[in-house]
Amino acid sequence: MGKAVIVYGTRGGGTKRIAEAIAEGIRIEGGEAEVINVTGVKKEGDLQGYDGYLFGSPTYHGQMMQPMKTMLFLAEKAGLEGKAGGSFGAFGWSGEAPGRIFDTMKHILKMDMGSGPLRLKSIALGGGTAMAQAYGREMARKLKAS
């Protein structure tokens, strides 16, 4: 069973809570998951050595947070081609960030992306925890199969 890294940006903590629930889902399936704040990723080597990658950012002013944009440039140099990927984020009404991250992982990083991005208004609303755990479980099952 492989190991996944979950890298999140946040201002209010909502996207961090989603990251933690995704990690729970991975662990429920018997996988390993490390949860890291995007500000802790300083060089491409910090992204190497994992089998799966989940990147998350909330949407502010229609965009992902700046540290996530910077990290995606580092990820471009980290050699993540073919690795399992997913994206997520908390949002208020439009929620562009998870889709933008997903598309970058797919088209630029050439990763093996799952069903689609996970967008949640809040982990506390409408079964959000279960949905985030399910997203983690999907990643873990993919890592088991590979």
Ligand X SMILES: Cc1cc2nc3c(=O)[nH]c(=O)nc-3n(C[C@H](O)[C@H](O)[C@H](O)COP(=O)(O)O)c2cc1C
According to the binding rule CB under 6 A, does residue 55 interact with ligand X?
Answer: no
Q: Does residue 20 belong to the site contacting ligand X (CB under 6 A)?
A: no
Q: Indicate whether 10 belongs to the interface with ligand X (CB under 6 A).
A: yes
74-93 residues in contact with ligand X (CB under 6 A) are: 90-93
User: Would you state the structure tokens that stand for residue 130, as one six-digit string?
Assistant: 């279960």
CA-wise closest residue to 53 among 73, 28, 72: 72
Which listed residue (31, 52, 58, 86) binds ligand X by CB under 6 A?
58
Triad 19, 73, 76: Cα angle to 5°: 90
Min dist CB 107 to ligand X, Å, is 22
Cite the beta strand spans of the chain per DSSP E.
3-8, 32-37, 52-56, 84-90, 112-113, 118-120
CB nearer to ligand X: pick between 92 and 116: 92
15 binds ligand X per the rule CB under 6 A: yes
Residues 98-117 that bind ligand X (CB under 6 A): none
> How does DSSP classify residue 144?
H
How far is C-alpha 133 from the chain's CA centre?
Answer: 12
Which of 37, 39, 48, 94 is in the footprint of ligand X by CB under 6 A? 94
Answer for which of 59, 87, 104, 133 binds ligand X (CB under 6 A) is 59
> Are 56 and 18 spatial neighbours (Cβ–Cβ below 8 Å)?
yes
The encoded tokens of residue 115 equal: 């069903």
Q: Is 42 in the site for ligand X (CB under 6 A)?
A: no
Question: Which spans of this chain sit near ligand X (rule: CB under 6 A)?
Answer: 10-15, 58-62, 90-95
